[in-house]
Structure 1
Amino acid sequence: MSKALQKAKGFKKSKSGTYLSMAATALGAISVVKQIRKARAEHDTLRLIDATVSAASIVTGLAILYRELKRLGDDDVLLG
């Protein structure tokens, strides 16, 4: 495995990488909000359900990333 690939994998598990993942996930929420508004305006129940499931997925993803961030913070305390 190349050094660049190892470094990239390490970044993904770092605090900075976790914050970046949280930001990207949160940006996905903007799209879901637009989808919900459009579905409500068009009275499209199926699209509204789809958007709601997508929103639940985003919330779950953020919760998992938050848990990972807390775990990384706990590891830093143990190392120091």
Structure 2
Amino acid sequence: MSALSKAKGFKKSKTGTYMSMAATAFGAVGVAKQIKKARVENDTLRLADAVVTAAGVVTGLALLYRELKRLGDDDVLLG
């Protein structure tokens, strides 16, 4: 298997899914800062935006978790 084909399959691997989950979770830090700033400034519109963004982050993590469960033990890149 060539390095290029391994790289193309990385996103569909357990390791790639874990990396995506970490990146998505890192986005939650930005959302938390946005919520804190909106509450301090009493900005309802910014708070609503942050809540919707947080819902997107949670949904993204749930989708990635489902993909991770679907991969199961048949991950060929780790072996």
The residue aligned with 1:39 is: 38
Residue 20 of structure 1, CA deviation: 0.3
Residues in 2 aligned to 1:25 and 1:19: alpha-carbon distance in whole angstroms: 10
Distance 2:3 2:14 in 1: 20
- 1:2-30 Cα offsets, whole Å, 9 max, x none, are 952x3222000000000000000000000
Tell me: higher relative CO, structure 1 or 2? Use CA pairs within 8 A at least 6 residues apart: 2
TM-score by length of 1: 0.85
Distance 1:8 1:50 in 2: 35
AA aligned to 2:54 is: A
How many residues in Structure 1 have an aligned counterpart in Structure 2?
73
Q: After superposition, where does 1:1-80 map in structure 2 within 5 Å?
A: 4=4, 6-73=5-72, 76=74
Q: CA RMSD in A?
A: 1.4
Structure 1 gap segments, 5+ residues each: none
What letter is aligned with 2:46?
Answer: R
TM-score (ref. length: structure 2) = 0.86
The structure with the largest helix share of the pair is: 1
Give the fraction of aligned pairs with identical amino acids, expressed as a percent.
Answer: 75
